[in-house]
Each structure stands twice: as C-alpha cells, then as structure tokens.
Amino acid sequence: MADVLVIGGGPAGLTAALFAAKNGLEAAVFDTDGTWMHKAHLFNYPGIGSIDGSVYIETLRDQVADFGVERHQGTEVTDVSADGDGFVVDAGGESHEADYVVLATGANRDLAESLGCDFDGDVVDVDVTMETSVENAYATGAMVRAEEWQAVISAGDGAAAALNILSEEKGEHYHDFDVPADADELFGSLVEE
C-alpha cells in the first residue's frame, strides 16, 4: 500500500510524486504517456534556458525514479474510488490502495467527476493547496485550470499538493528546503578542488 497514488505523469503528477517521495512518503505514478510535453519546447521554464518537452519529461521521470517513486508507465487508471479512510485505484487489472490520491490527468477530468469532486464550471474545484471537495483527494495542473496551461504552473500545483499532504502527515507546516550540504551528501562535493 502506497501513501500517495498519483494519476497522470505530466509535469503536475511527476512533481507531486517527486516532492512526496523525496520527503519519505511511498508514492506511485500511473501514466499513459499522453502528456502535452511531447508537443512542446520550453523556453519559459524558469531556470531552464531551452529544453525539448520530451527531454524534460524523461529527465523528470529519471529524477522521480531516483527518489524511489514506483512508476507504472503505460498503465491506465480506469477507476478511483474513496474507501473508508483512503482510496482504491484500479489500473492494469489490479487494485491499489493509498491514503491520498493526486489527480493529474491534464485536460481529462473524467476520474475527478466519477470520484465525486465538485467542479467550478468545466474545471475541478480546488482550494489553494489543490485539495478537492473530496477530503485527501487533490487535483493539479490542466484539469483545474481553464486557460493557464503552462508546465511550470502544473509543476507548482503538484508541489503544492504534495507539500500539503506532507503537512497533514507530519501535523505541522512542512517545508522542503535543502541546503548545499544536502547536495554534497547526495551527489558528492560540487566544488572542484
């Protein structure tokens, strides 16, 4: 059983999984590889000068895998339902359970509808933490926005959802702050002697 099941592996879903897993939660991502990033070339992602969308998504996939995210690439989620305290996700002929679910299916909002999330017009209604009207179910990225379809905004939504889940789990506001010593520990000294 995972802590967080993420449905959709675009910038929103992969970022939610990254933040969850690098801070100690068990996270899994299901993705059918229909991300719009395969059509994009990013010149507007802060801190990145220019990157092909598919290269960006492949880099992000590797990054989440490095932090232990369980990836179900090519696996479609066919149903998600609330089950007492948590959620059951049906995918690839199997059922998966978790305390939290993050919906990140781009412009496809069908699963949010079947889960019973409230909508605001055509988009899923969320609060500032990206939580839907269904407790512990979050929605992120293009599915919650009518127009602001930018990779960095989706990634930010995913980060906000995961940080709120971490705050819920730890019982206080959680900050994912790293310092240079953390990088040294992970990757070795960044300073050339």
Ligand X SMILES: Cc1cc2nc3c(=O)[nH]c(=O)nc-3n(C[C@H](O)[C@H](O)[C@H](O)COP(=O)(O)OP(=O)(O)OC[C@H]3O[C@@H](n4cnc5c(N)ncnc54)[C@H](O)[C@@H]3O)c2cc1C
Instruction: Give yes or no for residue 13 binding ligand X (CB under 6 A).
Output: yes
Shortest gap between Cβ of 38 and ligand X (angstroms)?
8
> Could you tell me if residue 116 is left (phi over 0), alpha (psi between -120 and 50 degrees) or otherwise beta?
left
Helix (H, G, I), strand (E, B) or coil at 102: strand
Residue 95 or 189 with smaller CB distance to ligand X: 95
Among 1, 44, 83, 176, which residue interacts with ligand X (rule: CB under 6 A)? Answer: 44
Instruction: Give yes or no for residue 56 binding ligand X (CB under 6 A).
Output: no
Instruction: Give yes or no for residue 39 binding ligand X (CB under 6 A).
Output: yes
Among 24, 33, 48, 92, which residue interacts with ligand X (rule: CB under 6 A)? Answer: 33
Instruction: Give yes or no for residue 30 binding ligand X (CB under 6 A).
Output: yes
Among 4, 10, 132, 134, which residue interacts with ligand X (rule: CB under 6 A)? Answer: 10
Instruction: Give yes or no for residue 54 binding ligand X (CB under 6 A).
Output: no
Shortest gap between Cβ of 55 and ligand X (angstroms)?
13
Q: What is the DSSP string of 46-79?
A: TT-S-EEHHHHHHHHHHHHHHTT-EEEET--EEE
Shortest gap between Cβ of 117 and ligand X (angstroms)?
14
- Give the C-alpha separation, 144 to 128, whole Å: 11
Separation of first and last alpha carbons in the chain:
45
* Cβ pair 130, 137 in contact under 8 A: no
Residue 89 in tokens: 């996700």
**H-only helix segments in the chain:** 11-22, 53-66, 110-115, 151-170, 180-187
Residue 25 or 101 with smaller CB distance to ligand X: 101
Residues in contact with ligand X by CB under 6 A are 7-13, 30-37, 39-40, 42, 44, 76-77, 104-106, 108, 111, 141-142, 149-152, 154
